[in-house]
A and B are shown apart, each in its own frame.
Chain A
Amino acid sequence: MLLKWVVRELLRNWKFSLFFIFNLSLGLSGYVALEGFKTSLQEKMNQNAKAILSADLSISTRREFTSEEISQIDKIVGADTWRSRAYEFFAMLNTQQGSRLVLVRAIDENYPIYGSIEFASKKKVLGSDKKEILLSPSIWIYSELHSQLGLSAGDAVQLGSLKLTVADVVEKDGTQTFRAASIAPRVFINRELLKQSGLIQYGSTFTQSFFFKIADEIVVEKAKSQLLESFKDPGIRIDTSKSAGQESGRQLGYLQDYLGLVAIVALFMSSLGAAYIFRLFLVERMREVAILRSLGMQATTAVSIYVVQVVILGTLSLFPTLIVAGAILPFFSKALNVFIPFDLEPAVSGTAVALALLVGVVGSLVVCLPFLLKIRDLKPIKLFSEEKFSNEIEVSKFWPFLPGVFAFWVLAMTQANSIKIGSVFIIGFFSVLLVLFGSGLVLLNLLKFVRVFQSWVLKYSILGISRRKTSSLAIFISLGLGSLLINILPQLTVSLENEFKTEETSKIPSLFLFDIQDDQVKPMKDFLQLESISSIGFSPMIRARLLRVNGNDFERKLEEGQVFRTREEETEARFRNRGINLSYRDQISDSEVIVAGRPFAGVFNGNTQKHAELSIENKYADRLGIKIGDIIHFDVQGIEISGQVVNLRKVKWTSFQPNFFVMVQDGVLNEAPKTYITALPKLPEVKKNELQRALADKFSNVSIVDVQRTVDEVLKVAKQMNWSLELMAILALFTGYVVMYSIVSSQVRLRRWELNMLKIVGAGFGSITGYIVTEFLVLALGAGLIGSALSILVSYGISYYVFEGSFVWDWFYPLLTALGVCFLSVVVSFLASRRVVRESPLVILQEER
């Protein structure tokens, strides 16, 4: 009976039903598209993480695994699981040109599990391919050995007792991505030859690793926790591609958080759109409810009719959404892939569909709960009043909004995969809601006093805004929130792009030089000047032990007979006891920024200062629980130095500039025994090799680390991240405007009856248009400007709490948003007024009743 009624109602109002479905599906399509791109980007990042680790799960140790440990691994991971076993160690490679330190990776037939190795011969080797080095006693060498020692394919080399032939030269090693650069170039040999080489025996230092391919992430995580439970020895390291990705740097973490925000913004945008459309729906049905109630229908039955209608329409809206997402998204992404440096294949995920359904139906019911309660409490007497039904909610009845707030808080946290981000966003969003409500009220009250206009249309329109307070506030808040949501992602993009921005080419290093002695600094500078190379600064490095923080022992001492109870306890103790490199410089570098506290007060003055001033890297301070004002005691070569923390610094480690966790005020450690570290900018390959040879001759103790590969990888990923941010910002703008269109259309539709009345009393097209356009323009301008300005504050808050204060002011996007919202409101209200003028007044009266 109820369902029959519902269906008959929907069919009778088919025009409205279609309008409803069209607008709701527009909002949901935006959400599904953003979700699709977000998921695709995350998938891309997961692939990167797998390449970083070369596996889904890896277990490694700096010794041989015992047979019991291997049985335990087999038991947990599965003896049949696809795996590769490798050894890695330093060794001397002997060639006709002399000997050279190399990093040997001894592999088997399944290596690499993920990623590929590309060679000078243009061959490319994957895990499943046959490998030349496994078929004959041969070796793959990194290209540095070709350029520095002149080694080429076919040349003979010796490694331990092994006489090997160079099989090929590695041009690109996909298994080395992101991993720290080494002091020695890598070579690959057959693991089976290790025994024969004589290199691995008692006393040898090496890392042995098992790499596993396990498709199911849940299985990986379960295996990891079981392995951690089984192996108490902290020397056994267990990594998953997820943890390897997390270690790869703050930027990846930022991108993850940003994508989390994309999900929340998309969810809120579509919910906002859906909520306003449902509100329109319920407002339009108030009179019908009153009639049914006056005819004796129970309140619960009346509410049920509309709840079922909402559910049906919400579900139907999902079909156009899926068609849009399934058909248009692939075309869109194909077009985009021409412009972006990596392939994205956004697909409609099951989660996105489920969430769209949740937002489209359940979410909207929660949002509309206050209105549904109003239906329940509706007095049939209203039926006989002249006015249209008001959709005002009394202040005392705001409690029905609370389930909605709670539901969105939970959704925000799950969407962002972070309690912090979800909560910061929700707090920001509802604070903005309050501010918009307040500023809207102020604006409406001010408009009462605007009497400068001669034209009655303008006067009537402006005064009308303040007279219809609830309806105007609803429009104002929706446009304000829309502007806020539209603007947050582009605003954060500008800030994060600054974080991902790479240094000028002259500041990106390709070689790191360390262990430069005090008396080698000048000769080294002279040498580099002769070679016309400007180094990226010389940083002094002083070794120290951190003894006490605020008088409390910092080091973890193991008393007689005491043992570490857990691997975590031991890892923490080793971290605290391993000493630290201190440095000093007269000013902070371009790659660091003070996030709390004040800069150093010049050079140390022993007459006025009791403690030296200290600057600590913020993450390091977090880990050690160090705050501004703390007094720290160091032991520098047997001499105790005390310092007070005056600031916390954020260091952009991916700038690859020499940076330190603890910086000491200038004038304190200048006389202490120290070495220097410097970096040299990118050089042409030939020049770089010549320079390395010359440096090795002239400064034989100075170790050189070639970071070119790592830097290139990081720059490539940074570029991808920049593109991802840009893409998401543009998509957010686009989706935002689509949602705004649906909101403005629904708001304008609420005014049809009034516009029609104007037409009946003789107002012409110009007057009707002028009236409605002025109203929406005034509200859009106010809401757009305030919403956009608030979005800057919210973005600042998010930057502060989530992205560690990397905020950059930008006025372009807020202005664009404010103007965009105005333009959209004008166009939609203009089109709506034209439609009303064209339609028969009687039809509208019948429809609107």
Chain B
Amino acid sequence: MRLFLFLAISFFLIPFGQAQENRLVVIGDSLTEGYGVSKDSAFPALLEKKIQADGKKNWVVVNSGITGATTASALGRVKWVFKSKPKLLLLILGGNDGLRGLKVEESEKNLSLAIELAQKENVPVILGGLYMPPNYGKDYTDKFKKMYVELAKKFKVPLIPFVLDKVAGDSKYNLADGIHPNEAGHKIIAETIYREIKDML
């Protein structure tokens, strides 16, 4: 038995023992992983605290962020996390596709496949939208922004228009690289997301 598989299956089986536990899985990239900040300071951990502080003690938030991940990983990762039978899936991918200048059509296709699978498995999906920095040019940034809107419309899923609202571009809320949020930035992101999803919990 491979160790990771064993641990993973044990981990995923926990919900069966504690039937009341609801899992919100956040599939994302470095933004979700909390690049540069501690695990407890990344927005998924803060989001869990918020949810539980609101009396919803049976909800846990799983951070499935991988730095550098693109939408190409979405389908495979959704398949993997579904072994843990999540109640809700928050999909915040696409940032790296944009930063690497990948074709928006390809990113859209990848996200579609992931949402389709989730809907087939009856797991509600919330889509986290991202914007590209203006230096990528108006054409590309507009197309990229539109992608999330169209996906949300097509699959009738809730959309958080811009996960980095009030964070992006402000050096007060970002690390020195100007891309990744710092501790204060993650707090705002957790607020933004919680506002959008609290009625779904």
Contact = CB atoms under 8 A, between A and B. Distances in A.
Interface in A58-104: 61-63, 89-92, 94, 99-101, 104
Contacts of B63: 638
A198 B136 CA distance: 10
Interface in A91-122: 91-92, 94, 99-101, 104
Contacts of A638: 11, 62-64
A558 B40 CA distance: 10
Interface stretch (B94-102, B119-127, B145-153): B94-102
B38 interface: yes
Contact of A668 (B2, B35, B39, B73): B2
B3 A641 contact: yes
Interface stretch (B51-59, B171-179, B189-197): B171-179
A225 B68 CA distance: 35
Contact of B176 (A161, A233, A673): A233
Given A183-B100, A233-B176, A517-B73, A94 B2 contact: no
Nearest to A700: B106
A634 to B, nearest CB: 10
Contact of B76 (A184, A200, A545, A673): A673
Contact of A198 (B2, B66, B138): B138
A345 to B, nearest CB: 41
Contact of B70 (A161, A233, A515): A515
B169 to A, nearest CB: 4
Nearest to A612: B3
A92 B140 contact: yes
A352 B68 CA distance: 52
Contacts of B198: none
Contact of B177 (A62, A517, A556, A558): A62
A719 B131 CA distance: 46
Given A203-B133, A579-B67, A636 B4 contact: yes
A667 B101 contact: no
B155 interface: no
A574 B7 contact: no
Interface in B161-186: 168-169, 171, 175-179, 183
B34 A577 contact: yes
Nearest to A517: B72
Interface in B85-111: 97, 99-103, 106, 110
A199 B34 contact: no
Contacts of A388: none
A612 B131 CA distance: 41
Contacts of A813: none
Contacts of A159: 137
A701 B40 contact: no
Contacts of A160: 135, 137-138
Contacts of A556: 38
B72 A577 contact: no
B11 A639 contact: yes
Contact of B103 (A234, A235, A517, A700): A700
A205 interface: yes
Given A637-B66, A641-B4, A675-B73, A557 B40 contact: yes
A715 to B, nearest CB: 27
Interface in B66-80: 66-73, 76-77, 80
A238 to B, nearest CB: 12
Select the residue from A104, A518, A574 with max chain B CB neighbours within 10 A: A574
Nearest to A556: B38
B25 to A, nearest CB: 9
B37 interface: yes
- Size range of the interface on A? 35 or more
A452 B185 CA distance: 90
Contacts of B100: 101, 183, 703
Interface string A511-529: 0001101111000000000
B76 A100 contact: no
B137 A92 contact: yes
Contacts of A555: 38-40
Contacts of B99: 90
Contacts of A233: 176
A660 to B, nearest CB: 14
A575 to B, nearest CB: 9
B135 A205 contact: yes
Nearest to B103: A700
B64 A637 contact: yes
Nearest to B63: A638
A90 B62 contact: no
Nearest to A204: B135
A772 B191 CA distance: 94
A202 interface: yes
Contact of B134 (A63, A198, A606, A675): A198
Contacts of A670: 2, 4-5
A234 B178 CA distance: 12
B199 interface: no
B140 to A, nearest CB: 5
Select the residue from B40, B97, B140, B183 with max chain A CB neighbours within 10 A: B183
B140 A577 contact: no
A823 to B, nearest CB: 62
A550 to B, nearest CB: 18
A641 B7 CA distance: 8
A635 interface: yes
Contacts of A701: 70-72, 97, 102, 106, 110
A604 interface: yes
Select the residue from A61, A198, A671, A673 with max chain B CB neighbours within 10 A: A673
B13 interface: no
A234 B140 CA distance: 31
A672 interface: yes
B22 interface: no
Given A577-B38, A668-B2, A89 B11 contact: no
A556 B39 CA distance: 10
Given A204-B134, A235-B176, A667 B68 contact: no
Nearest to B107: A701
A184 B100 CA distance: 8
Contact of B72 (A203, A515, A557): A515
Nearest to B44: A638
Contacts of A199: 134-135, 137
A42 interface: no
A578 interface: yes
Contacts of A669: 4
Contacts of A61: 176
B8 to A, nearest CB: 5
Interface in A237-261: 237
B9 to A, nearest CB: 9
A498 interface: no
A100 B4 contact: no
B39 A635 contact: yes
A203 B138 CA distance: 13
Contacts of B136: 90-92
Interface in B8-39: 8, 11, 33-39
Contacts of B140: 92, 99
Contacts of B7: 639-641
Contact of B175 (A574, A579, A612): A574
B2 A671 contact: yes
Contact of A673 (B77, B177, B178): B77
Contacts of B38: 555-558, 577
A515 B77 CA distance: 14
A689 B96 CA distance: 24
A201 interface: yes
B112 interface: no
A636 B77 CA distance: 13
10 contacts: A62-B176, A99-B101, A160-B138, A198-B134, A199-B134, A203-B131, A203-B134, A577-B37, A578-B36, A606-B6
Given A62-B177, A555-B38, 9 more contacts: A62-B179, A199-B137, A204-B133, A205-B179, A577-B36, A612-B3, A639-B7, A640-B7, A671-B2
List the 5 closest A-B pairs by CB distance, nearest first. Answer: A101-B101, A701-B72, A235-B176, A62-B178, A203-B169
